[in-house]
Amino acid sequence: MGSGSADLMDEHQDKENESSSKDRYFVLLLVLTGVFMSVLDGSVVSIALPTITQYFHVSIAQSQMIMTGYLVTITSLLLIFGKMAERMGKARLFSLGIAIFTASSLACGISTSLEMLVLCRIFQATGGAMMFSISAAIIFLAFPKSEQGRAMGYIGSTVAIGSILGPTLGGFIVDLLGWSYIFLINVPIGIAQMLLSAKYLKIEEKRLIGLEADWIGALTLITLIVSLMAFLGQLSYGIAPTQAMLLLALIFVLSLIGFIINESREKAPLLDLSIFRYPMFVLPSISLMLYFVANLMVSVLGPFYFEGVRGYTASQVGLIYLIIPAITVFGAPLAGIVYDRHQFRYLAALGMSIMSLAMIMLGYLASSMTTDIRLLLTCFVFMGLGGAVFQSPNNTELMRSLPITKINIASSFTATIRNLGMALGVSLSGLLVSMQMAQSGYYGSISEASPLILASSISDVMMIAGGLCFIGATAAVYRGMRSE
């Protein structure tokens, strides 16, 4: 992007910042609360699944639709609502998302059947997608350029905390109040959000008039994301191809081709493919995707290692996994402040490099069942530090890389690849650990594998996760070199 375009973008953005900067911290609190609720509700249900399964007298396969329905819906709709924000306005769309999320949370809590609960979860995910899709854009515009790095760091902190705390918080709520309150607790928070949003969530923005709907693009996008996530879900169970896996793969490929063809010809496309002509946008996107893939691989397999190899309880493992979000919640905003002040273009690469080394070291140490636990915890500390240093500058650079007119699509696209990265990380962890155990001659369930096989297989996958972070660091370095 030329310097003239960048200056014009900054000038336009500064004008939009002037009116919103006065209440920017209220805006930040409102948006982060919405992001936290959206992310939290994607994971909080996992701990309540056994209770819900028993309550409705259904199978675990049926009750899992409560989680998968939510995740598939929110991922499918992020880009669509990012486009709709150009017509409705970001503040209006976010406020509507709060209302839908709150009302559907109430409906989830009073559901009388599993079918009703799944349907209400889909509506809940729709409201969550409205909030999540343009959250980064709202925060980015609400803050002046000198504070954007710190503000974007808060988003990374919120996503990390919501993802990790979901199961822990869900466990306490289910034990103390019952499963319905994991949804009902959203209602008073949502009502407070709606009241405060009416007063403080005001952003100067130009809305398009008569925005054309890209119905074919929306349909093919939903089809390709649903088929991809269903395929990844099937893939996580093992490496042997099934008819269902092959059919889902075929649907995904065909819908992806159809989506690309349609978007390249559409006058008002759902996804403006021209964003991929901006290397400064593509490179941070690659790093962000790999960051979440690697993180989820460690998050999924770590508990199996600590429980199956080290003999820890679930609550002890939960405490270990609080290390990363505890560091991120403070470290990401601090890294954002450093980036705002010094504009160090290699800060994201540094953070990703720290994560890469920490994961590789974690994998190496985990291969031995007698490793001092303090060394393993040290790796988690550096993973938290690396993630905190990476997220703020990377997200800020990503949002600044496109013209201001494309900020909605930048926000919704990054939210989409974040969710896809998490789904891919879950699937890859299951696939890779199955392959590693098969090489050791074991083909049974991971929960029944011997400690020796578990340690060897999981350590290899953690080192692979470190390798993915290294690729992400390389992309971040290349991005820094191009910006010089």
User: Is residue 385 predicted with pLDDT exceeding 90?
Assistant: yes
Q: Which residue has the higher pLDDT, 369 or 360?
A: 360
Predicted confidence (pLDDT) per residue in 399-423, tens digit: 888 887 787 788 888 888 887 887 7
Q: Write down the pLDDT at residue 459.
A: 92
Token pair of 29, please?
């609190």
Task: Assess whether the region 20-207 and the region 274-484 belong to the same CATH fold.
Answer: yes
Q: Does CATH number 3.90.320.10 belong to domain 274-484?
A: no
Q: Write down the pLDDT at residue 230.
A: 81
Mean pLDDT of 120-135: 89
User: Is residue 425 predicted with pLDDT exceeding 60?
Assistant: yes
The top-level CATH class assigned to 20-207 is mainly alpha
Q: Which residue has the higher pLDDT, 378 or 12?
A: 378
Question: Do 117 and 107 meet the contact criterion of CB atoms below 8 Å apart?
Answer: no
- The residue extents of the domains of the chain are 20-207, 212-267, 274-484
210 falls in which pLDDT band (50, 70, 90)?
low
User: Is residue 350 predicted with pLDDT exceeding 90?
Assistant: yes
Q: Write down the pLDDT at residue 208.
A: 61
- Tell me the whole-structure pTM to 2 decimals: 0.75
Predicted confidence (pLDDT) per residue in 182-191, tens digit: 899 889 989 9
Token pair of 273, please?
């493919």
Task: Check the CA dihedral 346-348-353-358 and report its sign.
Answer: positive
